[in-house]
């Protein structure tokens, strides 16, 4: 098995490293304190090709395989998870889903703008009453002639206040549970759609997370993405691939924690010696390093399976489960290496821990990943 990078993949990684060091790293603390990433980053992400990775060139995509996509999301995660999330959602959950399930008209209408960073997408699945149990969502889309009228609300929507289009999941038939759910592409300037920014998040403070409320939002029937009643399976297939980019972002967090811990341990002296010379500090650092490697290998395996056209869903759940839990452990261990300074936001590790914490919650909690893995192994569904 060859774990080396091709020339193209190595070049994409260098491009991403340079982008993070130039466009993100200098602003991370200020964006976190201001609770807002500078919006110009979206256009910059488009210009450098990161919002078009793996998309077909005829729709404005920049090509690349899934390992290249992993490398970019890993680097963005190293820089700022708030920025990484912009890409994971707009490209990973929205554009790639439009490419996979959209009509020619939908692809031409949205993909070139999304890939260029001239438009941003968000993914509207979670509701106030349904998170893990997304198949029981309550938002309704009622057919009225050649339109649908949508009513309901969506909770915790990444990119929500910035997005130009929401990939929205709503119940359009009376079929029970997830069988009645369909997917729609709803422009966010459609009358009746309002958005409220959610403030006070523990981490990802720079990210525009929102609640969406839909009151008699009317869209043409052609706004439906994919067949009627297939919305839930479209959402699940989007999330299965999405878990790879969350896992890659977590590898980035873990790598940043390792870099910070090694750097600080080498500079800080106590009892007349570098703290790096103490075995208990080395234990903290080596635990981080092993987690970084294990999380990265699990994540790259998912990319490899996708690129070879093989079944990847269970591997993606394993990678997301391991990498997200590892990111929390790594950031926490790094904070320990920093001592009291780790608790202050002038130093990077506190933010890494706050940002890491959500990774075990969204795109399927750790418990839900275990149920998915357990179902694949036993053939019995626990939910």
- Residues at the contact surface with ligand FAD, assessed by CB under 6 A: 89, 122-126, 131-132, 156-158, 201, 204, 209, 358, 361-363, 365, 367-368, 371, 383
CB of 45 to ligand FAD, least distance (A): 17
Spacing of C-alpha 350 from chain mean position:
20
Give the number of C-alpha atoms closer than 13 A to the C-alpha of residue 265, restricted to the C-beta side: 23
- Residues 6+ away with beta carbon under 8 Å from 193: 166, 186, 212, 213, 214, 217
Q: Percentage helix, strand, coil, to 5, in the chain?
A: 60, 15, 25
Q: Which of 23, 74, 211, 363 is catalytic?
A: 363
Could you tell me the two tokens for 43? Answer: 């256009």
- Cβ atoms of residues 219 and 190 within 8 Å: yes
Q: Please choose, from the candidates 227, 220, 158, 152, the residue with its C-alpha nearest in 3D space to the C-alpha of residue 187.
A: 220
CB of 73 to ligand FAD, least distance (A): 15
Closest to ligand FAD by CB, 305 or 359: 359
CB of 269 to ligand FAD, least distance (A): 39
CB of 182 to ligand FAD, least distance (A): 15
Q: Can you list the positions of beta strands (E) in the chain?
A: 121-124, 140-144, 147-157, 165-171, 181-187, 193-197, 210-220, 224-225, 269-270, 273-274
CB of 201 to ligand FAD, least distance (A): 6
| Residue closest to ligand FAD (Cβ) | 131
Q: How far apart are CA 151 and CA 174, in angstroms?
A: 15
Spacing of C-alpha 168 from chain mean position:
17
Closest to ligand FAD by CB, 125 or 276: 125
> CA of 61: how far to CAs of 54, 83, 89, 115, 127, in Å?
7, 19, 16, 6, 31
CB of 355 to ligand FAD, least distance (A): 10
**CA torsion angle for 100, 152, 363, 31 (degrees, to 10)?**
100
CB of 328 to ligand FAD, least distance (A): 14
- Cβ atoms of residues 117 and 40 within 8 Å: no
Closest to ligand FAD by CB, 64 or 135: 135
Closest to ligand FAD by CB, 51 or 337: 51
Closest to ligand FAD by CB, 103 or 136: 136
Closest to ligand FAD by CB, 75 or 363: 363
> CA of 175: how far to CAs of 123, 136, 144, 178, in Å?
23, 11, 18, 8
Q: Is 36 a catalytic residue?
A: no
Q: Is 75 left (phi over 0), alpha (psi -120 to 50) or beta?
A: alpha
Catalytically active residues, by annotation: 363
């Amino acid at each position: 098995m060859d774990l080396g990078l091709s020339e193209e993949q190595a070049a994409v990684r260098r491009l991403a490293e340079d982008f993070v060091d130039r466009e993100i790293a200098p602003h991370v603390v200020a964006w976190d304190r201001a609770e807002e990433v500078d919006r110009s980053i979206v256009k910059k992400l488009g210009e450098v090709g990161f919002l078009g990775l793996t998309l077909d060139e005829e729709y404005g995509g920049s090509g690349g395989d899934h390992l290249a996509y992993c490398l970019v999301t890993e680097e963005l995660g190293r820089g700022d998870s708030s920025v990484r999330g912009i890409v994971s959602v707009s490209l990973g959950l929205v554009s790639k889903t439009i490419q996979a399930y959209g009509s020619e008209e939908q692809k031409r209408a949205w993909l070139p703008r999304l890939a260029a960073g001239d438009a941003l997408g968000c993914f509207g699945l979670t509701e106030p009453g349904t998170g893990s149990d997304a198949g029981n969502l309550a938002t309704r889309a009622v057919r009225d002639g050649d339109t649908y009228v949508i009513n309901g609300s969506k909770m915790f929507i990444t990119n929500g206040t910035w997005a130009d289009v929401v990939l929205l999941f709503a119940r359009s038939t009376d079929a029970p549970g997830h069988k009645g759910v369909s997917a729609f592409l709803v422009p966010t300037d459609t009358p009746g759609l309002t958005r409220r920014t959610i403030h006070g998040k523990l981490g990802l403070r720079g990210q525009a997370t929102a609640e969406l409320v839909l009151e008699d939002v009317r869209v043409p029937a052609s706004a439906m993405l994919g067949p009627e009643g297939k919305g839930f399976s479209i959402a699940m297939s989007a999330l299965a691939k999405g878990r790879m980019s969350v896992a890659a972002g977590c590898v980035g967090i873990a790598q940043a924690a390792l870099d910070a811990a090694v750097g600080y341990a080498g500079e800080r002296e106590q009892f007349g010696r570098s703290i790096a010379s103490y075995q208990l500090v080395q234990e903290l650092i080596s635990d981080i390093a092993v987690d970084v490697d294990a999380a990265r290998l699990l994540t790259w395996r998912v990319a490899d399976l996708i690129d070879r056209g093989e079944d990847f869903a269970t591997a993606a759940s394993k990678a997301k489960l391991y990498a997200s839990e590892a990111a929390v452990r790594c950031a926490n261990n790094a904070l320990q290496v920093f001592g009291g300074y780790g608790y202050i936001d002038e130093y990077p590790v506190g933010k890494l821990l706050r940002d890491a914490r959500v990774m075990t919650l969204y795109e399927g909690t750790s418990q839900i990943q275990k149920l998915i893995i357990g179902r694949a192994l036993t053939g019995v569904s626990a939910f």
